[in-house]
Chains A and B, each alone.
Chain A
Amino acid sequence: MSTTTDAPKTRGKAGPGERLADWTDGRLGLYTLAKANMRKIFPDHWSFLLGEICLYSFTILILTGTYLTLFFVPSMAEIEYDGPYVPMQGVMMTEAYASTLDISFEVRGGLLVRQIHHWAALIFVVGLLFHMFRVFFTGAFRKPRELNWLFGWTLLILAIFTGLTGYSLPDDLLSGTGIRFMEGAILATPVIGTYLQMFLFGGEFPGHDIIPRFFVIHVLLLPGIMLGLVAAHLILVVYHKHTQYAGPGKTNTNVVGMPFLPVYMAKAGGFFFLVFGVITAIAATVTINPVWVLGPYRPDQVSTNAQPDWYLGFSEGLVRLMPGWEWVLPGGYTLNLGLMIPLGVFPGMLVLIGLYPFFESWVTKDRREHHIAERPRNSPTRTGFGVAWLTAYVVSLIAGGNDVWAVNFNLSINAITWFCRVGFFVLPVLAFIATRRICLGLQRRDMEKVLHGRETGIIKRLPHGEFVEVHEPLPPERLYTLVAHDQQKPAELGPETDENGVRRKISPLERLRVRISRGYFGEHAQIPKPTAEEYRAITSGEGHH
């Protein structure tokens, strides 16, 4: 290269690495970017890594999914199978199913990659749920993170539908039954159902279009949107900075932890390989969706124990616990309530959890930023709501597998269904009450620990014969951690009349808000945390207990 440079050569020639860095900086502004982010601090706690499990399983899904697309044929053209799997030889099947068999039996590493892909998908959504509930129970969705909560929530919804479309692709008898179920759900939509079904399937069920269409949705459309949302989610995490648990030196305005480079880079990189390793170990030893024994999809065949993958299990359960009511309107139009109602409750439950942060901020009217993650016990009502939601969710999951439970535990499927029907309404209420009480009990225990110290288990006999247990005062950093949370005051309606004695107008909505707020923060909803005066009063009287 014969370029001439006029750069001053006072310090001798820079090394190749530095020159490369200079070159890149001149074009990408690398230095400013690195300076801002290389020393980004992340707090240390295992529960903050749940989101990383999701991120890494998503990466694994993209990597393995790309490999699978090299061999998968998204076509519903019928062929006769002549591959190595004996029980399918000579059976007519779609190219989609045949190519899935080929991936499983003929492509090198195909079965392993298929199983990694499917296990990673299940674990991805489990991880999303765990991550979401970590954020929920610690109140990490509060200002300024409400939008990021919505991004994450949208990712969950998209993950569910990406999973559904992927599960359907092999066109085996199980997934075909799932598509048939979905078709039924679409048909149950009032007025537009039949049009929507014809539009999606390109004709009568099953047609020849649904697999190629699902393929495009599964490999391009949804993952593309998800990738964008993941990026936005991460950018917001960096922008907001990570929440941290209360502790000495940790405030609402700082982040205590390790820098991104080199510590977190190494940890996160290593963690990626650990997640990949665990999922690969599972995939290498445990079968998932053995499509070869299920047979190709034919609309005239069906099997018992046919369920969707677990993340749609609760929608399946809602349908199974709903009585099969239908209502024929005058004029001969049938409303299929047995499907319409549960398929309305299904998005309803998701929307409920998605919009919760906005509900809470409406109740609290709290405009402050929150960067300290709360302990679930210090917000009993929120924790109660979360557990109630999870209870309803788990009850519908159980209902979704009612036949499998029945046959494995020798129970009556009717009894399970009735248990779930009643349980869906009753158990969340009981769970709410129980959780709230447990939280209050734990708050009392914290107060007791702060004021009286830790129980040592040592029994001391006093000179006059009385036995007492020796309590050991907590170290100051524990004391701080236990009382660091702030306790909101319940909202008040204010005086009935204004300064002129005229009755103030208070909207019914505001009255409702005040009542809810009392439920959240009233005297029966939280234990006042010990004050410094109480602490001094008790600790000064040495020897008392």
Chain B
Amino acid sequence: MAALVVLLLALAATGGLYAAFAPADEAKADDAAQSLAIEEGKRLYDVGCSSCHGAGGQGSSDGPSLVGVGAAAVDFQVGTGRMPMQQPGPQAPDKPAVYTQAEIDQLAAYIASLGPGPAQPNPSAYDPAEGNAAEGGELFRTNCSQCHNFTGQGGALTHGKEAPGLDDVDPRYIYEALLTGPQNMPSFPDSTLPEEQKQDIIAFLQEVNTSESENPGGFTLGGFGPVSEGLFAFTFGIGALIAVTVWVGARTAKARKS
């Protein structure tokens, strides 16, 4: 009996000591940081977002539910300044971001905790150097140009909505937009448009649609095609020529005095 009591005490002591001295494991620390981020994110959410999206992200008559939209959607919408929305309108336009990247990550963590959704992508996923611009061009013209124009200059949708211009958009946001389908855009999850194809599209846009892209023809007039070209011909083109006609018309031979 005594032996049994000693054994039990020894076991309890070892277990207790192990529990007391064992190093706290990584997962536990991460969890703590994660729950901290979620907590901070909830605090930001309550102040900045809940008036439209509801106290628990369940949505209201003024804004959609955010359950299951994922961290990628938050990173895109808040990172490009679209959210929080400045005023009601046909759609939320991009503007300077209101939150810092750290705050955006906290918001994203909170929204991700509401339900499973696409996570923020790794930088390698949207690296334009990984993609093939020619393939991307074909994909872009098949899937994107109906709304965003051949070269991503943007285009009009119904009732004041628009597909925004894509010039100089950070590849990360293009990737996230494809992944989550913000506002009027359809989403292109990896099952319809695999990661490599998204990279191809990003590579194409980097090639033809940034402020550094080469324009062999000179000024692009906004890249809107015949409308801006016609307007140019109607203003500068004929304007310059009429100035020339007036100049030529005003200069004439003088009658010789005899």
Show the binding face of A for B, using Cβ within 8 Å: 44-50, 52-53, 86-91, 104-105, 111, 115, 119, 122-123, 126-127, 130, 173-174, 258, 263, 267, 270-271, 274-275, 278-279, 282, 284-290, 292-295, 298, 300-311, 313, 397, 400-404, 406-408, 410-415
Contact = CB atoms under 8 A, between A and B. Distances in A.
Contacts of B180: none
11 contacts: A49-B245, A87-B204, A275-B241, A282-B236, A284-B218, A288-B217, A290-B216, A295-B137, A302-B145, A412-B159, A413-B156
Contact of B155 (A49, A403, A410, A412): A403
A127 B238 contact: yes
A275 B160 CA distance: 41
B189 to A, nearest CB: 22
Contacts of B156: 304, 402-404, 406-407, 413
Q: Which of B135, B146, B240 has the most CB of A within 10 A?
A: B240
A406 B162 CA distance: 8
A45 B248 CA distance: 9
Contacts of A88: 134, 137
B244 A87 contact: no
Interface string B129-152: 000011111100110011111110
Ranked nearest first, the 10 interchain pairs of A and B with the lowest CB-CB distance are A310-B230, A287-B217, A304-B155, A46-B249, A406-B156, A412-B160, A122-B233, A401-B227, A303-B145, A49-B245
Given A274-B248, A300-B142, A406-B156, A289 B229 contact: yes
B127 interface: no
A50 B137 CA distance: 43
A86 B227 contact: no
Contacts of B154: 407
B219 A285 contact: yes
A286 B232 contact: yes
B216 A313 contact: no
Contact of B241 (A48, A53, A86, A300): A53
A327 to B, nearest CB: 25
B88 interface: no
Contact of A49 (B153, B224, B226, B248): B248
Contacts of B226: 174, 289, 307-310, 313
Interface of B: 90, 133-138, 141-142, 145-151, 153-160, 162-163, 204, 207-208, 215-234, 236-238, 240-242, 244-246, 248-253
A303 B150 contact: yes
Given A86-B134, A87-B134, A305 B142 contact: no
A88 B134 CA distance: 5
Contacts of A408: 222, 224
B245 A44 contact: no
B249 A45 contact: yes
Given A88-B137, A303-B145, A263 B237 contact: no
A410 B159 CA distance: 10
Contacts of A267: 248, 251-252
Nearest to B153: A305
Contacts, number: 211
Given A263-B252, A270-B248, A285-B218, A127 B145 contact: no
Contacts of A410: 160, 162
B133 A87 contact: yes
B149 A303 contact: yes
Given A87-B208, A303-B149, A309 B230 contact: yes
Contacts of A412: 90, 158-160
A412 B158 CA distance: 7
Contacts of A46: 242, 245-246, 248-250
A91 B138 contact: yes
Nearest to A309: B226
A271 B244 contact: yes
A231 to B, nearest CB: 23
Contacts of B252: 44, 258, 263, 267
A295 B245 contact: no
Contacts of A286: 217-219, 221, 232
A479 B253 CA distance: 26
Nearest to B163: A304
Nearest to B252: A44
A226 B158 CA distance: 42
A87 B151 CA distance: 12
B213 to A, nearest CB: 9
Contacts of B246: 46
Contact of A111 (B149, B217, B224, B240): B217
B155 A407 contact: yes
Interface centre among A287, A298, A304, A407 (most CB of B within 10 A): A304
Contact of A295 (B150, B157, B220): B150
Contacts of B229: 122, 288-289, 309-310
Contacts of A271: 244-245, 248
Contacts of B159: 412-414
Contacts of B222: 408
Nearest to B238: A126
